[in-house]
């Protein structure tokens, strides 16, 4: 069974790598176009809100430049969370308000704003803003002629490392030409010496405001709106394989810490319990008639023997999350830890018991190390996981078990914080 699951998982990875995204399309009332790693948003109105865990219509393409054309009036929450390779952003003259949209852009080099009045930068309830975690302290802000003082006076815009006013010819350039120049810049990010000598003054002005992007190997949708920590909890089924297979039901709880864009350090605690009647306590009573010598034998079923088997696992691990389309993710990794086991058997006398047979309570405890692969799939905030755990010992408190393993299935709520 495990081999089949792993084969299906790796087949899904191969299938995912072959899935592509369209290069243009509608985004509610707006339009988007992706060319040479430059994303252009055009139309009239504000961008749609992208909720945590959502996928933008252009998928997970590696972006270097984002251009918001004239006519777009606002950038909504979560609209551009995720593409960490972005080095330059161009905001059109009509963008008046920007919600939490460009967090953790650590490769950001240039932001060009073509609006004389600084757009309002909103904050969330925790105090985070539009550029929280972004490299604005090292980035350059380019603003319209005569607008530098207004941006310097703004408590959020003035956090950029430097603020410069763009040349008049650049400011007067039509938006279509600005977009064409941005696309050309990402198509040829490294200029040759001869090309630099032959560049015109207009090209030089463009290069000053839209810098070529550095090579970045990966990008993706920010996980949980850029949050570093997630927690999850839900139901679990624990199938313990030994001399016999025991199915236990319980809970699975965990948390994770983001090491990088898609890599997570994880901690999980899962436990399962199984209760069952494993037999009855019986004894045989023989009575001899003294006068006749006749013997009468009676079997008494005096009570039941109940067993409770508890299986817990405490795991530290690593996982890598792979984004798919339409709010779906796949993930895989490995986990290791310890597994305390407890087998408790009880004799419970029947209600009409008249004998003096004692109540008994027998316990077997063991602690084993475990390690194994994990795979999972997530849709928005619901996550399904599977673990296959190998145990370090087959000695269960003096009882030899044949290669004990466990298969854990969990369905959990997955919440970023």
Domains and CATH numbers, the chain: 21-209 (3.80.10), 229-275+310-416 (2.40.160.20)
Four-point Cα dihedral 19, 49, 51, 24, nearest 10 = 0
Assign 3 a pLDDT band (cuts: 50, 70, 90): very low
Assign 181 a pLDDT band (cuts: 50, 70, 90): confident
Strand partners, 271: 251, 312
Q: What's the confidence (pLDDT) of residue 178?
A: 80
**Of 1-10, 220-229, 296-305, which range is least confident?**
1-10
Task: Count the neighbouring beta carbons within 10 Å of the beta carbon of residue 272.
Answer: 23
Q: What's the confidence (pLDDT) of residue 201?
A: 35
Q: What's the confidence (pLDDT) of residue 307?
A: 67
Assign 42 a pLDDT band (cuts: 50, 70, 90): very high
pTM of the full structure: 0.46
**Of 26-30, 282-286, 325-329, which range is least confident?**
282-286
Which contacts of 379-383 are long-range, i.e. CB under 8 A and separated by 24 or more positions? Answer: 379/327, 379/328, 379/329, 380/53, 380/54, 380/327, 381/53, 381/413, 381/414, 381/415, 382/411, 382/412, 382/413, 382/414, 383/232, 383/234, 383/410, 383/411, 383/412, 383/413, 383/414
**Of 82-86, 107-111, 113-117, which range is least confident?**
82-86
Instruction: Read off the pLDDT of each residue in 204-223 and give the average, rounded to a whole number.
Output: 34
DSSP collapsed to 3 states, the chain? CHHHHHHHHHHHHHHHHHCCCCCEEEECCEEEEEECCEEEEEECEECCCCCCCCCCCCCCCCCCEEEECCCEEEECCCCCCCCCCCCEEEECCCCCEECCCCCCCCCCCEEEECCCCCCEECECCCCCECCCCCCHHHCEEEECCCCHHHHHHCCCHHHCCEEEECCHHHHCCCHHHHHHHHHHHHHCCCCCHHHHHHCCHHHHHHHHHCCCCCCCCCCCCCCCCCCCEEEEEEEEEEEEECCCEEEEEEEEEEEEEECCCCEEEEEEEEEEEEEEEEEEEEEEEEEECCCCCCEEEEEEEEEEEEEEEEEEEEEEEEEEEEECCCCEEEEEEEEEEEEEEEEEEEEEECCCCCCCCCCCEEEEEEEEEEEEEEEEEEECCEEEEEEEEEECCCEECCEECCCCEEEEEEEEEEEEC
Q: What's the confidence (pLDDT) of residue 10?
A: 42
Pick 287 or 130 by higher pLDDT. 130
pLDDT by residue (tens digit) across 44-98? Answer: 999 988 776 667 777 655 788 999 999 999 998 877 876 668 899 999 999 999 9
Instruction: Read off the pLDDT of each residue in 114-123 and give the average, rounded to a whole number.
Output: 91
Residue 1, pLDDT > 50, answer no
**Listed residue (185, 195, 204) closest to 36, CA to CA:** 185
Q: What's the confidence (pLDDT) of residue 227?
A: 63
Instruction: Read off the pLDDT of each residue in 171-192 and give the average, rounded to a whole number.
Output: 69
Instruction: Read off the pLDDT of each residue in 293-309 and give the average, rounded to a whole number.
Output: 71
Q: What's the confidence (pLDDT) of residue 153?
A: 93
Assign 194 a pLDDT band (cuts: 50, 70, 90): very low
**Of 66-70, 220-224, 289-293, which range is least confident?**
220-224
Instruction: Read off the pLDDT of each residue in 15-28 and give the average, rounded to a whole number.
Output: 58
Instruction: Read off the pLDDT of each residue in 257-283 and give the average, rounded to a whole number.
Output: 79
Residue 196, pLDDT > 50, answer no
Instruction: Read off the pLDDT of each residue in 122-149 and give the average, rounded to a whole number.
Output: 87
Q: What's the confidence (pLDDT) of residue 130?
A: 86
Q: What's the confidence (pLDDT) of residue 64?
A: 87
Pairing mode of beta strands 97-98, 120-121: parallel
Q: What's the confidence (pLDDT) of residue 346?
A: 58
Instruction: Read off the pLDDT of each residue in 146-164 and give the average, rounded to a whole number.
Output: 93
Return the percentage of the chain with pLDDT > 70, whole number: 67
Assign 121 a pLDDT band (cuts: 50, 70, 90): very high
Residue 343, pLDDT > 60, answer yes
Pick 335 or 212 by higher pLDDT. 335
Assign 28 a pLDDT band (cuts: 50, 70, 90): confident
Pick 191 or 312 by higher pLDDT. 312
Pick 198 or 104 by higher pLDDT. 104
Q: What's the confidence (pLDDT) of residue 261?
A: 67
Q: What's the confidence (pLDDT) of residue 114?
A: 92
Question: Do 371 and 390 contact (CB within 8 A), yes or no?
Answer: yes
**Average pLDDT score, the chain:** 75
Residue 151, pLDDT > 50, answer yes
């Amino acid at each position: 069974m495990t081999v089949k699951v792993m084969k299906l998982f790796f087949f899904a990875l191969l299938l995912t790598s072959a899935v592509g995204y369209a290069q243009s399309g509608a985004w509610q009332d707006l339009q988007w176009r992706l060319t040479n790693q430059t994303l252009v948003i055009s139309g009239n109105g504000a961008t749609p809100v992208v909720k945590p865990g959502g996928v933008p219509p252009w998928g997970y393409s590696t972006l270097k430049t984002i251009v918001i054309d004239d006519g777009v009036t606002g950038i909504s929450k979560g609209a551009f969370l995720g593409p960490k390779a972005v080095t330059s952003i161009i905001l059109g003259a009509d963008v008046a308000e920007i919600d939490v949209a460009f967090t953790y852009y650590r490769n950001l080099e240039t932001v060009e704003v073509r609006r004389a009045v600084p757009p309002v930068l909103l904050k969330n309830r925790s105090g985070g803003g539009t550029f929280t975690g972004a490299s604005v302290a090292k980035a350059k802000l380019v603003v319209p002629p005569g607008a530098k003082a207004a941006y310097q006076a703004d408590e959020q815009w003035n956090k950029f490392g430097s603020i410069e006013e763009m040349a008049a010819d650049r400011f007067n350039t039509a938006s279509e030409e600005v977009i064409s120049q941005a696309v050309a810049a990402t198509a040829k990010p490294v200029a040759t010496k001869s090309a630099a000598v032959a560049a015109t003054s207009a090209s030089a002005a463009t290069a000053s405001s839209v810098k070529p992007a550095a090579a970045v190997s990966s990008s993706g949708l920010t996980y949980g709106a850029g949050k570093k920590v997630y927690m999850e909890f839900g139901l679990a089924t624990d199938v313990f394989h030994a001399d016999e297979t025991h199915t236990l039901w319980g809970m699975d709880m965990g948390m994770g810490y983001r090491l990088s864009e898609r890599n997570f350090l994880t901690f999980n605690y899962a436990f399962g319990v199984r209760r069952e009647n494993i037999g009855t306590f019986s004894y045989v009573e023989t009575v001899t008639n003294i006068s006749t010598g006749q013997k009468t034998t009676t079997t008494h079923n005096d009570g039941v023997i109940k067993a409770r088997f508890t299986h817990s696992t405490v795991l530290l691990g690593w996982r890598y999350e792979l984004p798919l389309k339409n709010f779906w993710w796949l993930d895989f990794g490995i986990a290791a830890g310890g597994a305390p086991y407890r087998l408790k058997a009880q004799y419970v006398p029947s209600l009409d018991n008249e004998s003096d047979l004692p109540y008994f309570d027998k316990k077997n405890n063991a602690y084993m190390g475990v390690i194994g692969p994990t795979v999972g799939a997530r849709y928005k905030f619901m996550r399904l996981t599977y673990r296959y755990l190998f145990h370090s010992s087959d000695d269960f408190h003096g009882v030899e078990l044949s290669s004990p393993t466990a298969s854990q299935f969990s369905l959990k709520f997955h919440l970023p914080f």
